[in-house]
Amino acid sequence: MLKGISPLLNADVLYALKSMGHGDMLVVVDTNFPAEAIASQTVLGEVLRIDNVSAADAVAAILSLMPLDTFIDDAATRMEVVGAPEEVPQVQHEVQAAIDKAEGKHWPLMPVERFAFYERAKDAFCVVQTGERRFYGCFTLTKGVIPPETE
């Protein structure tokens, strides 16, 4: 247990967050996502797990340490619902709320078509699989920078 760090963030996830640089992307996925197949193609090359928690709780824990990239419009994305791209499931509303809280302002989740999402995920630094069982609990988060402290 570490002071000030969410207990949901295990050593493997902390290592990945520390290793990522500005512009590196992390993928947070539900239990139905083909995590092993996609993760094998990422920089890290293996699936990281935050088991038994929702996607929103995992995203909140990750964003408690990782800033989002302010230089791009799609620093936070969600997988679109197949056949209903305008639909936003409850799990995505919950993750949107977690992002907004972490960033202190509304930060829109940009939609990405399912197969485009899979391709995008292959270019990520890593894949974090959660215990989320609801469909479409899949998101990407792109790491930003932490500015120097002012004097």
Centre a 10 Å sphere on the Cβ of residue 84 and count the other Cβ atoms it contains.
9
The predicted pLDDT at position 2 comes to 77
Alpha carbon 106 to its chain centroid, in Å, reads 16
Question: Is 0.75 surpassed by the pTM of this model?
Answer: yes
Q: What are the strands of the beta sheet with 139-142, ordered from one edge? A: 47-50, 126-130, 25-29, 139-142, 76-79, 110-112
* 3-state class (DSSP) for residue 78: strand
Task: Assess whether 22 carries a catalytic annotation.
Answer: yes
Task: Assess whether 136 carries a catalytic annotation.
Answer: no
User: Torsion over CA of 27, 123, 31 and 139, rounded to 10 degrees?
Assistant: 40
Residue 35's nearest CA partner among 111, 112, 122 is 122
The predicted pLDDT at position 30 comes to 98
Strand-pair category, 25-29 with 139-142:
antiparallel
Task: Assess whether 118 carries a catalytic annotation.
Answer: yes
- The DSSP code for 25 is E
Q: Encode the chain (151 residues) as per-residue pLDDT tens digits.
A: 678 999 999 999 999 999 999 999 999 999 999 999 999 999 999 999 999 999 999 999 999 999 999 999 999 999 999 999 999 999 999 999 999 999 999 999 999 999 999 999 999 999 999 999 999 999 999 999 988 988 6
Which entry of 22, 51, 93, 123 is annotated as an active-site residue? 22
